[in-house]
A and B are shown apart, each in its own frame.
Chain A
Amino acid sequence: MVKSTGLKRRDFISANDAVAYGVKLCRPEVIAAYPITPQTTVVEKLSEFIENKEMACEYLNVESEHSVMSAVMGASLMGCRTFTATSSQGLLYMCEMLHYVSGSRFPIVMMNANRTVAAPWNIFGDHRDSLAMRDSGWMQVYVENGQEALDTIIQAYKLAENPKVLTPVMVCLDGFVLTHTYELVDIPDQSAVDAFLPPFVTENKLDLAKPKSLCITAPPEWQTEFRYQQYEAMKEAKKLIPGIDKEFAAHFGRSHGGLIEEYRCEDAEYVLMAMGSVVGTSRLVVDKLREEGLKVGLVKVRFYRPFPKEELASIGSKVKAVGVIDRDISFGYEGALYADVKAALYNSQGTCPRTINFIAGLSGRDITKENLEMMYRKLIKAAQGQAEEEIQFVGLRWEQW
């Protein structure tokens, strides 16, 4: 039974539904999907929209995630705006195709419901899936709530399809914590989205009038030049992202902060940096500690690729200690976000504030307000010279935290 999907201007929906509404408003021409928890309700909702004629779009039920990405690439290289969504093992199964898409410069937008990767097998969220795809040539943006999820889908097409960028975007939502949590979400008018996001027009497509070969083989004499162009495209994207957020704000009255969003950082001495839903809880903790007179702040790292190096370095130059929350761990080193943040914080004089890497929220474990408060208190102690382990697993069963 397909239920009516009539929407109100402001509705109580899950972040997955918010993504589906965002996609619908962007008028993709081809969607291909394979179900995987906790992404599934996104592709169910989109198939409902299409069956109910609320959306004019070709919908392909494909037999695997590898084929999903191949199919949307097939449509994208014919000049269609496309969408798909995945999660965890599915994202890993697509890995090969992610490189084909980015290397051939097809501006596909995909939602990833962040979920840990097996083994041990688990359906709950952390960032190990998408961070494992760091070097796939896709942009990655991590959102905080359902509203940002919907808005970011619209922004993602604007960014990906810019002729100077032509690079795919992965919009990452924390599995269950966001994907299955209901909240009030403002759903923009179609006309407003149409005014912000024009139809997709590209030269980078198969065209009977101008036959050419795409996604070709490049020998050593040329491969570096293709890579350089991808590198330049990401640089261009980094320049454009703040402007797209501003333009979005002008159209829709909401801003999510471009590359990063700072919260009470103006005079902060101790700053936590994090991605995704934990940022929401962290705001409350910052408010509480500020009431105690502690100069704490928070940085939401929104884009992971392109990485906001200069923006983070600027904050780092003004504070005494930085903590980085990683919902992942790169075994044999440290958290993936931490490694990048720490590299960004070092200035040309070779100095850096005290830093601690908090490994937290793996495989869906809660990151509580108490955990976050403890992180800030550890940062303060570290800045005062107290010895602290650099890499700390938060809330381990056999340790007092």
Chain B
Amino acid sequence: MVNVRNLPDQELFYGHKACQGCGAATAARLVLKITGERTFLAYPASCISTVSTIYLQMAFAVPSLTMAFPATGAVLSGMAAAVKAKKLENVTVLGIAGDGGTADIGLQALSGAVERGDKILYVCYDNEAYMNTGVQRSSLTPYGAWTTTTPIGENEDSFGKRKFKKNLFEIMMAHRIPYCATASVSYPVDFLNKIEKAKDTDGPSFIHVMAPCPTGWGFPSDRTIEIGRLAVETGLWYLAEYENNKVKMNLVPKTFKPVEEYLKKQKRFKHLTDEHIAIIEKHRDEEWATMGQRYGF
């Protein structure tokens, strides 16, 4: 078990150019604390590559590479095959990719890698849009969120994204992946322990970690952890694990905080009407009811 006392001091991701309060950079830093020096890391074109490896400044202290946007899963497979071919032991083949690079353009390669059962650890940091190109809609952007490609226009029904988030956790579970979890950078101990479990999984493992983005979401950069906590406390994000064909909820709030508390702190939701907020709340309640029945809590 990882806790605050035994957490390694060693930093393997530093000197990068991420925005202040970047949830993705926090996620990457925490992941590497657990996987350690014996990590081979790949990441696609994304915020993480842009802030870490622009020649000559290299921010990862482990062997790493930038991959094509759709290719993270596949390059990890190739690296894992090389680990077998070269008979390397006690190493982690790690992928860190954003929501677009995972749930949209990268989904085919991720699905392929998981289906093959390759021994890789894939972490999707979810900042709920294409942040690297300047806040465009992805399939993990939430309902009602403003992005530059779901702008608030003159249309009467213009209120940001018209669809709810795709459920990536369930997509990965459908692969019968050996280990799969959701996490949040705002719950670091939970996250760190999930990384440790994933790292020791014999086969593919996947963690979907919520990583709030001050720039894209529109909140002060010292509020990242608070925003992430509110997402969980309002029931708009959940912490769960899937292993041995069972889902375990790591945290089930007794009562949910009103979703306004989360939404109204962010510029991307500030245009939402009470009607929209009611739709979001209703959707949340339905989702939790379905999960409760399905996973038995």
Binding partners A and B: yes
Is A85 part of the binding interface, using a Cβ–Cβ cutoff of 8 Å? no
A32 at the interface (CB under 8 A from B): yes
Q: Mark A68-107, 1 if CB is under 8 A from B, else 0.
A: 1011111111111010000000000000110010001000
- A contact residues around B84 at 8 Å (CB): 58
Give the Cβ gap from A232 to chain B, nearest Cβ, in Å. 18
Q: How far is the CA of A80 from the CA of B91 in the complex (A)?
A: 17
Q: Is the pair A75, B78 in contact by a Cβ cutoff of 8 Å?
A: yes
Q: Which of A24-52 contact B (CB under 8 A)?
A: 29-30, 32
Q: B86 touching A213 by the CB < 8 A rule?
A: no
Q: Which of A60, A63, A100, A216 is B58 in contact with, Cβ under 8 Å?
A: A216
- Is B221 in the interface zone, CB < 8 Å from A? no
Quote the shortest CB–CB distance from A259 to chain B (angstroms). Answer: 31
Whether the pair A213, B60 counts as a contact (CB closer than 8 A) is yes
- Take A61-B116, A63-B109, A71-B75 as given contacts and tell me if A215 and B81 are in contact as well, using a CB distance cutoff of 8 Å: no
Contact check, B85 vs A58: say whether CB atoms are below 8 A apart: yes
Given known A30-B81, A219-B55, contact A96–B65 (CB-CB < 8 A): no
Q: Which of B63, B76, B91, B116 meets A74, CB within 8 Å?
A: B76
How far does the Cβ of A32 sit from chain B's closest Cβ, in whole Å? 6
Is A67's CB under 8 angstroms from B109's CB? yes
Q: Which residue of B lies closest to A71 (CB)?
A: B78
* Cα(A147)–Cα(B45), bound, Å: 42
Which of A61, A72, A76, A213 gathers the greatest number of chain B CB atoms within 10 Å? Answer: A213
A107 to B82, CA, bound (A): 15
Assess whether A75 is in contact with B112, with CB atoms less than 8 Å apart: no
Q: Which positions 349-365 of chain A face chain B at CB distance < 8 Å? A: none
Known: A63-B109, A67-B71. A78 touches B77 (CB 8 A): no
Complex-state Cα separation, A29 to B79, whole angstroms: 12
| CB nearest neighbor in A for B118 | A60
- Verify if B42 is at the interface (C-beta below 8 Å from A): yes
Contact residues in B for A332 (Cβ distance below 8 Å): none
Question: Are A217 and B49 in contact, CB atoms less than 8 angstroms apart?
Answer: yes
Q: Is B144 an interface residue (CB 8 A)?
A: no
Binary CB contact string for chain B from 49 to 65 against chain A (1 if under 8 A, 0 otherwise): 11011111010111111
Contacts of B109 in A (CB 8 A): 63-64, 66-67, 70
B185 lies within 8 A of chain A by Cβ? no
Interface size counted on chain A using CB atoms at 8 A: 42
| Contacts A58-B84, A77-B65; A66 near B71 (Cβ below 8 A) | yes
A77–B76 Cα distance when bound, in Å, is 11
Contact between chains at A60 and B65 (CB < 8 Å): no
- Which residues on the B side are within 8 Å of A206 (C-beta)? 40, 63-65, 79
Residues of B133-179 whose CB lies within 8 A of A: none
Q: Which residues of chain A (265-279) have a CB below 8 Å from chain B?
A: none
Query: What number of B residues sit within 8 Å (CB to CB) of A?
Result: 45
B68 at interface, CB cutoff 8 A: yes
Q: Within the complex, which residue of A30, A74, A211, A216 is in contact with B74, where a contact is CB–CB below 8 Å?
A: A74
- Give the chain B neighbours of A63 by CB distance below 8 A: 74, 108-109, 111-112, 115
CB proximity to A under 8 Å, residues B10-49: 37-38, 40, 42, 49
User: Could you say which of B56, B73, B83 contacts A78, with CB atoms under 8 Å apart?
Assistant: B83
Distance between Cα atoms of A63 and B50 in the complex (Å): 28
Contact present for A100 and B77 (CB under 8 Å): no
Whether B63 contacts A211 by the Cβ 8 Å rule is: yes
Name the residue of chain B whose CB is nearest to the CB of A205: B63
**A215 to B65 alpha-carbon distance, docked (Å):** 6
A73 touching B53 in the complex, CB below 8 Å, given contacts A79-B82, A217-B66:
no
Q: Which chain A residues (182-233) contact chain B, with CB distance < 8 Å?
A: 206-208, 211-219, 222
When C-beta atoms are compared, the residue in chain B nearest to A66 turns out to be: B70
Question: Which of A62, A74, A77, A212: most chain B CB closer than 10 A?
Answer: A74
Find the residue from A32, A61, A208 having the highest chain B CB count within 10 A: A208
Give, as a whole number of angstroms, the nearest-CB distance from A33 to chain B: 12
Q: How far in angstroms is the closest Cβ of chain B from A110?
A: 14
Q: Does A123 contact B (CB under 8 A)?
A: no
Closest-by-CB residue of B relative to A67 is B74
Specify the chain A residue showing the minimal Cβ separation from B45. Answer: A217
A100 to chain B: closest residue by CB: B68
With A66-B70, A70-B67, A215-B66 already in contact, the answer to whether A80 and B85 are too (CB < 8 A) is yes
What residues on B are CB-neighbors of A113 within 8 Å?
Answer: none
Q: Is the CB of B82 within 8 A of A75?
A: yes
The yes or no answer to A57 lying at the interface (CB within 8 A) is yes
Tell me the nearest residue of chain B to A28, going by C-beta: B85
Contact partners of B73 in chain A: CB under 8 A: 67
Q: Which of A64, A72, A80, A215 lies in contact with B67, CB distance below 8 A?
A: A215
Q: Are B86 and A79 in contact (CB under 8 A)?
A: yes
CB pair A219–B86 under 8 Å, yes or no, is no
Knowing A63-B109, A206-B65, A207-B63 touch, does A78 contact B82 (C-beta < 8 A)? yes
Contacts of A215 in B (CB 8 A): 65-67
Q: Which 3 A-B pairs have the closest CB atoms?
A: A74-B78, A78-B82, A67-B74
Q: Which residues of A contact B (CB under 8 A)?
A: 29-30, 32, 57-58, 60-64, 66-68, 70-80, 82, 96-97, 100, 104, 206-208, 211-219, 222
Could you list 23 A-B pairs, sorted by A, with CB under 8 Å? A29-B82, A32-B77, A57-B85, A60-B116, A62-B77, A64-B108, A64-B109, A68-B74, A71-B74, A73-B75, A74-B78, A74-B80, A74-B82, A75-B78, A82-B78, A208-B63, A211-B63, A211-B64, A213-B52, A215-B67, A216-B55, A216-B58, A218-B55
